[in-house]
Amino acid sequence: MTMKKMFSAVVAAATLSTAVAAMSAVNANADSEKPVVANACFIGMIGANGCWGIDEVNALSSSATINGNAQYEVKWDVTETGGTDTLQFLAISMFAAEGVTNFNSHTFPDLKITLDEVWIDNVLVEDYTVSDAAITTTYYEGSSGTCRIYLHDDWAGTGVADLPTETTILENIRVKFTISGLYNDGDSNVTEDPTEPPTDAPTDAPTDAPTEPALEYILGDADESGAVDSSDASKVLAEYAKVATGGEYSLTESQFAAADVNADATVDSSDASSILAYYAFTATGGEGTMEDFLAK
């Protein structure tokens, strides 16, 4: 064999050895770890509070790490930041993970997303309808491709209102969705569905809460402004969040009696919900006191 042929054979053998080693390393990594391709979270506004990326998700909320075909969930908890009774923009965004240029159907041509369930304040939204424009797998933010699920959109141009403008969120919103069409099965992060405690058997009533109402108060008027409106619901939510995180009520005896509209010796989200419902009733021409409204 000539020297030239021997040199060519050595080079070919070395190249083949390097290729085999690289292939083995890739296969070993693929077997031991599923690659993360995207991270999902809520984006938008709930009341005065906004979230526009994974790094803005608060400690009580949850995002989803997408690493294959599975059902995932995201949650936005607003018990500490305040709720809302109107929506302008609320969506789920699936941002490409580090090292992934795009997470959309241009990169993953078989990618499909379905919205499975929507829960508000731990109650399943029955008969939720997903409109045609609600899910997009070809959204671009700058040069990065993402996917979105719109729940309500007055800003991005889709006009989606699958959750109506007059939607009340006092504690949290939670959404389950399914990813399919990727190259492997993923790890679901779906948790057990919440259950709502019966209103006649509260489990978090403070032992030092006032038990006897003051003689003069307007039921529902927690801030004693002389009218029952959304600011009273906000005050109730702020007090509920304070107590739920180990604090104490700052309400006076008369304010507590006004805020505790369901008379269960605690001030919580159910009282705020009743106050908002009564406010909506009177704002659209309804008449009567809170007591009359609750008796209907």
Banded pLDDT at 290 (limits 50, 70, 90): confident
In the prediction, which pLDDT does 1 show? 47
Among 30-44, 94-108, 122-136, 205-219, the least confident range: 205-219
Q: What share of the chain is helix, strand, coil (3-state, %, to 5)?
A: 25, 25, 50
140-194 pLDDT per residue, tens: 988 889 999 999 999 999 999 999 999 999 999 999 999 999 999 999 999 999 7
Q: How far is CA 43 from the centre of its chain?
A: 8
Rg (CA), the chain: 27
* Alpha helices, H only, 158-252: 230-244
**8 Å CB contact between 112 and 93:** no
Strands of the sheet containing 123-124, edge to edge, are 70-77, 172-180, 112-120, 123-124
Instruction: Give me the percent of the chain exceeding a pLDDT of 90.
Output: 61
Q: Using a cut of 0.75, tell me whether the model's pTM lies above it.
A: no
In the prediction, which pLDDT does 57 show? 95
Q: Under 8 Å CB-to-CB from 294, ≥6 apart: which residues?
A: 261, 262, 274, 278
User: Mean per-residue pLDDT for 75-85?
Assistant: 93
Q: How far is CA 94 from the centre of its chain?
A: 13
- Dihedral sign for Cα 228, 229, 234, 240, please: positive
Q: How far is CA 42 from CA 38, 78, 228, 251, 294, in A?
A: 14, 12, 31, 33, 34
Banded pLDDT at 66 (limits 50, 70, 90): very high
In the prediction, which pLDDT does 248 show? 87
